[in-house]
Structure 1
């Protein structure tokens, strides 16, 4: 599947399409915000925003750019200026200090503006905007956090190298066993949060900056008793640009998950011993 093509199998019943297409989530006419972090994504960004607005014309977008040297921030400003409906917003950050920090800045921006649901989506085309309705439908059905999962029935991987798939599956198995969380794709970055989740899980105490940020927030939501669900999505390897994954990111995730798992077990032991 090419970057500019929609994912297959994303037709949806007409009765469920109108709300999400208008950018509305929930019966009270609440609105959703799609947060897209960027660093050197000038070619990918216009394509993914265009696909999003074809799939869900009323959706609002916040591009969080970490001073990309390739001019992604300027491209984002141009998209916002050209959008007569005011659906595209841009947040410029002066330093590149991790995916997690970029998302936290985007969450704070969205919460300040009273968005009811805040969505994470990559800029590189790996997450199909045509499947975002699956996440929003689950939110409308009562879920608090919805994760677009590669590893539940119906989930797919397209053009992903075998070694990357094995690494990802291994990381998810490790996190599930270490934490005791019944989430099959806890590292996934295509997800939708009700604002109540982000309000409660103490974002100002989040330390993780790299990809373990995704594990961190999902684990916090689980521990807080929120309704966390997974829906199947198609994950497609990027065609333009380079992955931001690194050995340092993987090491951070391994060590922090081990620490969280140990803390959780000590807490449970302490409760049983009282």
Structure 2
């Protein structure tokens, strides 16, 4: 196995990110020069896929997975995870293509992964923050995370965030073929599965910045999907704990700031 394949693969899903993709990958490689990136493009009509191919031709650290249509964030990441495992990558990272996730903070996530199975970048831990969001969007995110935490009994401050690093062994244990979430609820879905599996889950603070180019993919339907699914999962979680013959719910790994308790 080559040295690169012993390292880090950053999965970057794209749909109409032609303005931001190249700068984000440049920042990534400035922050973690040895990291490779897999661009998972859902048939972007703005030429993002062609740009990704050109970047890959110029830099062996860039790879491209083309999908024929826009199928949602969750399926794009599942496809990226499958590609990563097929090619033997031991550490996989989720990162947006729009610059909202700071590649410069990826070393913090990777450092924390030394003592964890999954590291989540949190906007809501002390030291984390959100820059340039309108108040109503920040309110929706904060309230949504509080609701998710209580409904699912998750010891996480930011279960909806999409900047995270994971060990391949955990990806292999989780049933991603059962994950049906299409939008940002995908992040809650598999974080919940990871905690329930007994994985060591750690959060580190990040600074999240609103995208400078392109349009946000957030919509009322995505928010509605998350609310409906989290509510249903929470109900099932409580019923399952009380049904005879069920395996007891595992004690979740305690969320912590890297370097502290």
TM above 0.5: yes
SS at match of 1:189: coil
Match of 1:33 in 2: 9
Q: Secondary structure of the residue that 1:103 maps to in structure 2?
A: helix
Unmatched segments (≥5 aa) in structure 1: 1-22
Structure 1 stretches of 4+ moved >3 Å: 271-274
1:219 matched to 2:174: no
Residue 79 of structure 2 is matched in structure 1 by 105
Secondary structure of the 1:57 match is coil
Matched, 1:95 2:69: yes
Change (3 A) 1:273 1:32: closer
| Distance (whole Å) between structure 1 residues aligned to residue 169 and residue 108 of structure 2 | 20
SS of the residue corresponding to residue 109 of structure 1 reads: helix
Which of residues 217, 220, 225 is equivalent to 1:247? 220
2:8–2:34: 8 Å Cα contact kept in structure 1? no
Is 1:136 matched up with 2:110? Answer: yes
Matches of 1:57 and 1:180, distance apart in 2: 38
1:256 and 1:237 map into 2 onto residues whose CA distance is: 26
TM-fit CA distance, 1:30: 3.3
Counterparts of residues 1-274 of structure 1 (less than 5 Å):
30-83=6-59, 86-140=60-114, 142-271=115-244
Residues 97-122 of structure 1 deviation map (CA, whole Å, 9 limit, x = unaligned): 10000000000000111111110000
Tell me how far apart the structure 1 counterparts of residues 187 and 234 of structure 2 sit (CA, whole Å).
15
In structure 2, the gaps of 5 or more residues are: 248-261
- Helix, strand or coil: the match of 2:161? coil
Aligned CA RMSD, in angstroms, stands at 1.6
Q: What is the count of residue pairs matched by the alignment?
A: 245
Aligned partners of 2:20 and 2:65: how far apart in 1? 17
Per the alignment, in what secondary structure is the counterpart of residue 130 of structure 1? helix
Shift of 1:272: 9.0
CA shift at 1:157, angstroms?
Answer: 1.1
Tell me the TM-score normalized by structure 2: 0.91
